[in-house]
Chains A and B, each alone.
Chain A
Amino acid sequence: MSAPVLSIQGMSHYFGGLKAVSDFNFEVPEGVIYGLIGPNGSGKTTTFNLITGIYTPTQGKILFQGEDIVGQKPFRIVHKGIARTFQNLRIFGNLTAVDNIRVARHFTTKSGVFSSFLRLPSFLKEQEEVRDEAMELIKLMNLEHRAMDMAKNLPYGELRRLEIARALATRPKLILLDEPAAGMNPKETEDLMKLVLRVRDEFKVTVFLIEHHMKFVTGICERVKVIDFGETIAEGKPEDVVKDTKVLEAYLGRKAVVC
């Protein structure tokens, strides 16, 4: 494992008096699949919102490839190379599947508004490149038959894949997946695990994911961090973490451990 792509130092966040995230310190090494788990309300999605700039942490630093990104606007953080998906899908419903992906490729294009008015050759060439890349991502996600369908008409599992494709279209170095397997059946979950591994290898991205399915986490994550009420309670390899007493307490309650 090489240098950390993401390094979080002393990050805390409060909502009024409520402590959502308390003094987080961790590093996500480049190229790994890193899992963040914890019971409901433990601060997982808040952590993602802090990294992507939707919230600004009350304290602490977030270093992405050595650069502090605290206080930057979300879209700038995306430009630097962090993409994400959402727990409850946020798809552009009235755009076609391929257009959903094209939106995410937009910021890498250079043509200005004027060249789009006049449809200059350089603009058209760039638009073609964007379209071809979007179609490649569509194919990778097995959504070819859906490319020209309105996204709102796609079934749930396909929307999950479309959202991952949209995140990949921003050409990220780090991709945050917020409960990618939520609402999926065992077969779909298994396919998704393969897909995540493939995405990591083919796109050379680091994957940082939140998940409740323990099978999913133990199956593909190389490192896991367990949090509860904004506090870190364990960190390490998944097979070690699941045996940790504190983790079992957090998930199953104190009595279960005694038994």
Chain B
Amino acid sequence: MDKFKLPRLAIAGAIFYAVVQLLILTGVLNGYFVVIINRSMIFVILAATLNLINGITGQFSLGHMGFAAVGAYVSGTITTLVFKLSPHVFGDNLIFVGAILLGACAAGVVGFLIGFPSLRLKGDYLAIVTLGFGEIIRTILNNIAYVGGPRGLLGIPKFSNFTVIFLFTFFTIVLLRNLVQSSHGRAMLSIRENELASELAGVDTTKYKVLGFVVGAFFAGIAGGLLAHLLQIAHPTQYGFYASSILLIMVYAGGMGSLTGSILAAFSLTFLTEGLRVGIDWLRDSVGIPIGTEWTMVIYALLLIFVMLFKTEGFMGMRESKILIIEEKHV
């Protein structure tokens, strides 16, 4: 038996990549759509990692974008600096990947620090602490002149393209899936189910709660780095509470604890945002209804209320698509 084969997921990933790449090459998808797809994939990473903290370990984080901000600013600063000093000295992509990983490590360290309050706080209290954390990160970034302050970090080289983002997203999902469907992942799930019983089944609940935050923050840092190198700017407002709450809606709408749900929700909500933008512009310009794009948030809020009222467990519930389930022999 070949123990390393990841058949279904690898095939699904390859098909997705090939189809999109083909559509780009044949010109069916223009640059605008490619950007939306790229953003969707970055949001897949963000939603899936938030799901690891909120849906799988059962903690409650409201400041997930803070981790992405750390990744974005650290990697953005590194690449900007390197290319200011000596453009085209090293293999470009090597520098880029290194910067992304450094940014992710920085985010992981921050996740470790944020993980500690989670040992003493539960539910709403933890939510408030993480909300505060997200705002602290945003405020700090707003006040460091070196990274541009409120103007944002400008002139980040454009490295993120469809292939790069796809590869990072694909491997993030593979690694998260491997973690969740291992004994470590089951230990995390048991904390969500019943923390006391988990502790008395011998699970070091402290360790696994912090682990959830560290792993979640690490990959969120990757997503932040990719986003910064896609938009070529890192701006404090991108990483505020507004963005974090959209991630939360993705996790809830997709299904708490379901990676499949997070992937589907990240794609559909990113496309929905763009669709609404187009729709609202049309209503304003052609029909003459005086509304602005801020109305997308109203739609999102309604969507969240709808999910909470009629589909509490989200689109996928706790189920996973077969594609994301590791096959086991004779169980």
Contact = CB atoms under 8 A, between A and B. Distances in A.
A185 to B, nearest CB: 25
State the main secondary structure of chain A at its contact with B: helix
A121 interface: yes
Interface stretch (A17-25, A123-131, A190-198, A203-211): A123-131
B184 A94 contact: no
A147 to B, nearest CB: 7
Which interface class (under 10, 10 to 19, 20 to 34, 35 or more) fits A? 35 or more
Most buried by B among A78, A103, A104, A166: A103
A90 B178 contact: no
Interface string B1-16: 0011000000000000
A102 B328 CA distance: 14
A117 B177 CA distance: 8
Interface residues on B, range: 20 to 34
Contact of B182 (A95, A127, A135, A169): A127
Interface string A35-65: 0000000000000000010100000000000
Contacts of A148: 331
B186 A103 contact: yes
Contact of B3 (A119, A135, A170): A119
Given A106-B202, A148-B331, A170-B202, A91 B182 contact: no
Contacts, number: 105
B197 A92 contact: yes
A147 B331 contact: yes
B170 to A, nearest CB: 14
Contacts of B196: 54, 90
A102 B189 contact: no
A251 B178 CA distance: 55
Interface of A: 52, 54, 73-75, 78-79, 83-84, 86, 90-95, 98-99, 102-107, 109, 111, 113, 116-119, 121, 123-124, 127-128, 130-131, 135, 147-148, 166, 169-170
The 10 tightest CB contacts between A and B, nearest first, are: A90-B197, A116-B182, A92-B193, A104-B201, A78-B202, A107-B202, A106-B183, A103-B190, A74-B199, A90-B194
Given A94-B257, A111-B183, A113-B211, 6 more contacts: A52-B200, A92-B193, A94-B189, A102-B186, A117-B179, A169-B201
15 contacts: A52-B200, A75-B202, A75-B204, A78-B199, A92-B193, A92-B194, A105-B183, A106-B202, A107-B202, A111-B183, A113-B211, A117-B175, A121-B3, A148-B331, A170-B202
